[in-house]
Amino acid sequence: MRKRFLPPPLIRQKVKLAAVKTILVIEDDPNLRKSIVKILENENFHVLAATDGARGVELAQSQLPDLILCDILMPEQDGYGVLNSLRHTQETSDIPFIFLTSKSDLSDLRRGMTLGADDYVPKPFDAQDLIDAVQTRLAKKTRQMQPYLDQLRQAAESLSRSAYIDLLTSLPNRIGLHRHLQQYLGLRSKCSSDDFIAVVCLEITDMTEIYQVHGYAAADLLLQEVASRLRHCSSEPAIKSTIKPTSDQPFSARLSGAQFAILRPALEHSDELDALIESFTQQLSAPYWINGREIEIGLHWGVALHPHHSNRAEQLVAYGETALRWGQENGVTDYQLYTPEIEAANCDLKQLTEELHRAAKNDEFYLLYQPQVNLITNRIIAVESFLRWKHPRRGVLLPHKFLPLAQDRCLVETMTDWTIRTACTQAVKFQSLSIVPMSVSVNLSYLQFNRPNLIATVGDILDDTGLDPALLTLELTESSLMGDQSKVCLILAGLQELGVKIAIDDFGMGYSSLKDLSKFPLDTLKIDSFFIQNLPEEHYAAVVSSIIAISQTLRLKVIAEGVETEQQLGILRKYGCHAMQGHYHSMPLLPDEIATLLQQGGRSPLLQVI
C-alpha cells in the first residue's frame, strides 16, 4: 500500500517545500546497481537506473536528472564515453557526474576529470561514503545556481509585468483585469461597505466591416485610439468626483479583439452607473480620424455587479460578457445588465448542461493523446490527454463547449476521476510499448484542482492502475496557483508526496511570473502557443528565450506548445528547449495510433536534426 499524504489543517505556519532530487545510476552489475538504488531511495531520492552506457545516455537526455552516478568499466560504451556524450549536449552538460570505479591509477582519475567528472567514489564503498559524495555535489550545484538566479531576477520581473499588458493598446489585458479585480475584492472583503462594483464590458460593432473597408493597419490604429479615450475617460473630473479612496479609481482593460472592459468600484446608486456609461458612450462614439479618414463606431454594453452576481473576479467578467452577448443578440440599444434570467433564457446551454450530467453515466467521453517529443533524441517521451465528448446528436464536442458548464461538485469529481483513471490505465499500456519512460499528462481546471479529496483520489487511482507515479503529470493553469497560497502549497506537497509531477500549462498568459515559480514544487513549464506562433518576431523570440533560460536555471523542463512550422522548431532547438508538441509533429491521436508510433520506435522522422 502506497504511503498516503494527509494534509494537516490550515494553520498559521510557513510551508517550506523541498523538491525531491532525481539520481540516475548507470551500472552494469545488477547486484551493485540494486544496492545503490536501495541506498539512495532510503535517503528519499527519486532513482532512475540504467544497465549500460547507451541506455544511461538516453535516460539522462530525456529525464534530466539532478545527478548521475556512473560505473567506468562497462561493455560497448564505458563511463568515459557516457560522460563525453553528456558534456557535449547543452541540456546535460552541467549535470553533476560522479564516477564509481575500482580503478585507482592516477592517469585514469586525470582522464575522468579532464572530461568533466565532478568526483570519484572508489569501490568498494559503504552507504555513508556514497551519500556524502552525492549530497556534497548537489549542495555545490545549488550554490553555483544562485548567481544566475540573481542575474536573471530583473529580467524575470520585467517579463512577468509584460504578461499583464496588451501589446497593441498598452492597456491591461484580460489577465491584468482579473488580477486587479481579484486584489480589489480581497481588500473589499476586509471591510464592510454598502456600495457596489460594476464590471462593464463593451464591444465595437461592425469591426469586420471596418477591417474590410479600412484595412487591418487602420483598424489597429482605431483600437489604439479607443484605448487612449478609455484612459482619458477614466481620469475625467466628472467621473472622478464621486470616487473616494485612491484604490477606487476606474480601471480599463482590453479583453480581446474589439472588446474592452471598465472596472468601476464604489458605486452607491444605479443612476451613477447610468451616468458612467453615458459619459463613456459620448466620448467613445465621437468620430475618429484615422489616416485622414473619418470612422464612426457603435458600441454594445454588458454589465455585471459585485456583490449581486458573484464574488469571483473571473465570474464577474464572464457575466459581463454574457450580458454583452445577450444584448447584441436581442437588439438592446442601451447597456444590458446581467440577470440570472439571461442564463435561464439560454435554453440550449441549459439543455447541454443536463445532457452533460447524463454523458458521464452513458460513457460518452473519450480521450485523445498528443505526443510530446524530446528535441535532442527526437523520441516521444510523453503524451498529453485531451477530453472529448461524443454527443449522440451534436457530434464530437471540444472541452471549451462543455467544461464551463461543469460547476456541480459531484459532476466535477466524476469527470476528474474518469479522466485521470482512463489516462493512467492507458499510460500503463503505452509504457509497455516504449523503450524509454513515457509519462501521461492530465489537465486540471481550477475547480478540479481545488476539490477536497484530490490527493486521496489520485493515490487510489495510481494504486488501482499500477502506474508509476513519476509517469503521471498533472497540468495546472496559472490561475490555479492564485488565492490562498498556503492551501495551494499543501495540495502540491500532497501530490509531490505521491510522486506525481506538476506542470504549469499555457505559461505566459496567466497570473504567475517566473520569479514566483520557486515558491512551488514544479517540474515542467509549458510555453503558451501564442508565443510560439509569434516566434519569428524579435520581441516574442526574446520572451521565449528568457523563459527557457530562466527555467533551465530553476531545473524546470520546458515544453513548447503549438509548434506548427520548421522555423519555430529550429528557433526552439537553438534556445535549448527540452521538448515540443504541436501539429508539426502530430495532431491529438487515438490510443491505437499512439501505440503504432511507439511500436515503430517512438522517434519522429520530421524532427531529425539537420
- Reported as a single tens digit per residue, the pLDDT across 355-385 is 998 898 898 999 999 999 999 888 999 999 9
- Residue 90 has a pLDDT of 85
pLDDT at 249 exceeding the cut of 50: yes
Which residues partner with 299 through β-bridges? 204
Q: What is the DSSP letter of 9?
A: P
pLDDT at 512 exceeding the cut of 90: no
- Reported as a single tens digit per residue, the pLDDT across 547-595 is 898 888 888 999 999 999 999 999 999 999 999 999 888 899 999 999 9
Confidence bin at 515 (pLDDT 50/70/90): low
Mean pLDDT calculated for residue range 482-506 = 87
The residue among 366 and 251 whose pLDDT is bigger is: 366
Confidence bin at 334 (pLDDT 50/70/90): confident
Cα–Cα dist 405/357, whole Å: 10
Alpha carbon of residue 159 to chain centroid: 16
* Cis omega (within 30 of 0) for bond into 536: no
Q: Rounded mean pLDDT of the chain? A: 85
Cα–Cα dist 190/20, whole Å: 38
Looking at 12-16, 215-219, 405-409, which range is the least confident one?
A: 12-16
Q: What is the DSSP letter of 205?
A: T
Cα–Cα dist 63/60, whole Å: 5
Q: What is the DSSP letter of 302?
A: E
pLDDT at 481 exceeding the cut of 80: no
- Reported as a single tens digit per residue, the pLDDT across 389-430 is 999 999 999 987 888 777 777 888 889 999 999 999 999 999
Domains of the chain are 22-159 (3.40.50.2300), 174-345 (3.30.70.270), 362-607 (3.20.20.450)
- Reported as a single tens digit per residue, the pLDDT across 22-65 is 999 999 999 999 999 999 999 999 999 999 999 999 999 999 99
Phi, then psi, of 423 in degrees rounded to 5: -65, -40
Confidence bin at 228 (pLDDT 50/70/90): very high
For the chain, give the percent of residues with pLDDT over 70.
87
Mean pLDDT calculated for residue range 214-229 = 92
Q: Which amino acid, residue 108?
A: D
The residue among 349 and 66 whose pLDDT is bigger is: 66
Which residues partner with 172 through β-bridges? 165
* Cis omega (within 30 of 0) for bond into 8: no
pLDDT at 236 exceeding the cut of 60: no
Phi, then psi, of 94 in degrees rounded to 5: -110, 15
Helix (H, G, I), strand (E, B) or coil at 549: helix
Q: Are 248 and 183 in contact (CB under 8 A)?
A: no
HEC profile for 494-530?
HHHHHCCEEEEEEECCCCCCHHHHHHCCCCEEEECHH
Q: Which amino acid, residue 545?
A: S
375-390: b or e for each residue (b if 16 or more CB lie within 10 Å)? Answer: bbbbbbbbbbbbbbbe
- Residue 152 has a pLDDT of 72
How many angstroms separate the Cα of 444 from the Cα of each of 385, 468, 476? Answer: 11, 19, 6
Phi, then psi, of 346 in degrees rounded to 5: -85, 85
Cα–Cα dist 160/169, whole Å: 18
Cα–Cα dist 566/464, whole Å: 41
Integer Rg of the chain from CA = 28
Instruction: Mention every residue, 6+ apart, whose C-beta is less than 8 A from residue 41.
Output: 47
Phi, then psi, of 100 in degrees rounded to 5: -110, 120
Cα–Cα dist 585/604, whole Å: 7
Alpha carbon of residue 292 to chain centroid: 44
Looking at 205-214, 286-295, 303-312, 315-324, which range is the least confident one?
A: 205-214
Measured N-to-C along each axis, helices 347-361 and 409-433 cross at an angle, to the nearest 10 degrees, of: 50
Closest by CA to 582, choosing from 564, 557, 607, is: 564
Taken in order 581, 585, 588, 591, the sign of the CA dihedral is: negative
Which residues partner with 98 through β-bridges? 69, 119
pLDDT at 246 exceeding the cut of 50: no
| Grid cell at residue 230 | 478609455
Looking at 282-286, 287-291, 411-415, which range is the least confident one?
A: 411-415
